């Protein structure tokens, strides 16, 4: 989609101010905007949420329960939630269930700001207090809003929203994109992780084709590679795909599936 730069800028500025007062602290002062822009964007988000059946969510940093300062505000540490995060901090099967968690944690952080914005624990020692005490936990490069996509209609709604507001889109599946393309500061993210359909047909016909059939497995955008391996086994077929259970099977920016590791969102 092509969006006029001034339109895009205005929308991004508005996005920064409405995210909420705490997030606004992460938006530089020069990005102030008129209240009308902010109000119309807020109303656009609200109507988007209605269109997608309430599946529009506001992101929080994955590690936030461990911190007493979040986006510059004093908050209560959630000791139980923090302990669970610390215990499984480097476990992909745990991280994959959280929108704010990425497999390469640097993509949770924004490195283009004067000081890196983010909210990371010490990966080699998640209980290390030096990474936590007195540190301001920020959303960083994690998209402030996301839709837990339920069907193609949610994607259509997001595209129309982006077209009319200028808010950029990003797409996340399992968070394995090692080039960081599945996060993005100030973007609206399409989280495809719940699209888990799996089916097999020995006589599959691609849409629009006649006369030729294929032995094929069809997967939703959010299916785990592990689940495809097991499904293929159950129907006596073999699949060649990614090395890790939590890698999303479908898609990839070059449509080569995650067997090309950097191409998996």
Size of the site for ligand NAG (CB under 6 A): 10
Residue with tokens 């908050």: 75
Write down the least CB distance from residue 11 to ligand NAG, Å: 12
Write down the least CB distance from residue 76 to ligand NAG, Å: 21
Nearer to ligand NAG, 170 or 246 (CB): 170
Window 104-143: contact mask with ligand NAG (x via CB under 6 A): ----------------------------------------
Write down the least CB distance from residue 59 to ligand NAG, Å: 9
Q: Are 241 and 208 in contact (CB under 8 A)?
A: no
Q: Which of residues 227-256 bind ligand NAG (CB under 6 A)?
A: 236
Q: What is the separation of C-alpha 233 from the centre of its chain, rounded to a whole number of angstroms?
A: 30
Nearer to ligand NAG, 49 or 259 (CB): 49
Q: Are 248 and 258 in contact (CB under 8 A)?
A: yes
By the rule CB under 6 A, 200 interacts with ligand NAG: no
CB count within 10 Å of CB 239 equals 16
Helices (H), 30-113: 35-51, 79-87, 92-95
By the rule CB under 6 A, 160 interacts with ligand NAG: yes
CB count within 10 Å of CB 191 equals 24
Q: Which of residues 163-182 bind ligand NAG (CB under 6 A)?
A: 163-164
Window 21-60: contact mask with ligand NAG (x via CB under 6 A): ----------------------------x----x-xxx--
Nearer to ligand NAG, 25 or 164 (CB): 164
Q: Name every residue whose Cβ is closer than 8 Å to that of residue 193 and which is 6 or more positions away in sequence.
A: 96, 148, 172, 173, 174, 222, 248
Residue with tokens 């339920």: 150
Q: Are 198 and 219 in contact (CB under 8 A)?
A: yes
Residues near ligand NAG (CB under 6 A) are 49, 54, 56-58, 159-160, 163-164, 236
């Amino acid at each position: 989609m092509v969006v006029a730069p001034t339109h895009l800028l205005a929308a991004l500025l508005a996005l920064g101010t409405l995210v909420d007062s705490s997030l606004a602290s992460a938006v530089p002062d020069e990005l102030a905007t008129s209240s009308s822009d902010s109000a119309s964007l807020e109303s656009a988000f609200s109507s988007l949420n209605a269109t997608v059946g309430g599946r529009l969510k506001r992101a929080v940093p994955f590690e936030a329960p461990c911190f007493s300062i979040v986006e510059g505000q004093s908050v209560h540490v959630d000791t139980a939630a923090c302990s669970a995060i610390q215990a499984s901090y480097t476990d992909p099967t745990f991280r994959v269930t959280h929108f704010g968690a990425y497999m390469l944690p640097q993509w949770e952080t924004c490195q283009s700001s004067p000081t890196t914005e983010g909210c990371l624990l010490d990966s080699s020692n998640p209980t290390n207090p030096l990474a936590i005490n007195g540190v301001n936990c920020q959303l960083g490069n994690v998209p402030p809003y996301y839709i837990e996509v339920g069907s193609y209609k949610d994607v259509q709604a997001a595209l129309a929203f982006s077209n009319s507001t200028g808010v950029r889109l990003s797409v996340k599946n399992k968070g394995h994109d090692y080039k960081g393309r599945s996060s993005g500061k100030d973007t609206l993210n399409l989280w495809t992780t719940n699209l888990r359909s799996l089916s097999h047909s020995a006589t599959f016909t691609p849409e629009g084709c006649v006369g030729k059939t294929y032995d094929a497995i069809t997967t939703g955008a959010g299916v785990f590679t592990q689940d495809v391996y097991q499904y293929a086994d159950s129907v006596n077929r073999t699949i060649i795909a990614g090395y890790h259970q939590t890698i999303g099977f479908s898609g990839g920016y070059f449509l080569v599936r995650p067997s090309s590791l950097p191409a998996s969102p």
